[in-house]
Amino acid sequence: MTDIEMTTMYKGLVNSGWDSHITQKYVSYVNKKKWLTKKGKSAFTGRDSQMNKVYTAEFCHIDEVGTGTEYDTIPQCQQFADEVFHAGVGLKKRINVFLLPSSKKYKNVAGIAVANSPVIKLKPGHGFTQFVILHELAHQMGFMHHDVGFRKAHVMLTERFRGKKESKNLLKWYKHFKLPMTVSDKIETPEKWLERYFRLEKARVARG
Ligand SMILES: [Zn+2]
């Protein structure tokens, strides 16, 4: 939304009797919503708020269908990552695969995708699998959080490199945990938004 559009919306509401503080909140809601729609995100928070649910869904998925091929070495993992890159499915750069050494920070992590860098790091064992490599490559398609954009990319890569049966299974578990697969671009009207705002405020006050 341009500054002019925002100002026009703000003035319109204040002129119709809206409190200026609340109007500002509504305008910022509209602005954020437009930004989220563009980015393929469903959550307002800067935190990766859906990470744990995604992990749980993926554990259930793996439990049923396994992790795909398990590799013994980094070069083998690199070869699979290169295969994905050369398939032209949306990775803009070749991704370099490195070893993720055991450390306290990454204790329960099988792999990581490095932000703003064409690098993924994998732990021997759990991390040297097609499942984890596809998960990290989905991050490298521009979705560092585990939001809608990431999940769509992960399902797409799974279908392409593990087959339709497995991608359907992954989707089934995402849905089971009520993880949305599309971003609603519906923007609430000022009246609807205000209703929700007061409801939330009331709840906040009640909580103390
Ligand atoms: Zn992840």
Flag whether 131 is in a domain.
Answer: yes
Ligand 1 mean position, distance from CA 105 (Å): 15
In a domain, 28, yes or no: no
Q: Report if residue 189 sits inside a domain.
A: no
Residues of the domain holding 146: 66-176
Residues in the chain, total: 208
Distance 98 CA to ligand 1 centre (A): 16
Q: What angle do CA 48, 101, 114 make, to 5 degrees?
A: 35
Give this prediction's pTM.
0.77
Q: Which long-range contacts (CB under 8 A, 24 or more apart) does 164-169 make?
A: 165/65, 166/61, 166/65, 166/68, 169/61, 169/64, 169/65
Q: Ligand 1 centroid vs 36 CA: distance in angstroms?
A: 19
Count of domains forming the chain: 1
pLDDT tens figures, 113-140: 999 999 999 999 889 999 999 999 999 9
For 119, which DSSP code?
Answer: E
pLDDT at residue 43, rounded to an integer: 67
In a domain? residue 12: no
* pLDDT value at residue 44: 64
Q: Which tens digits make up the pLDDT trace of 37-85?
A: 877 777 666 688 899 999 999 999 999 999 999 999 999 999 999 999 9
49 inside domain: no
pLDDT at 159 over 90: yes
Residue position matching structure tokens 């859906």: 50
Instruction: Give the chain's mean pLDDT.
Output: 92
Any idea what the CATH number is for the domain that residue 114 is in? 3.30.2010.10
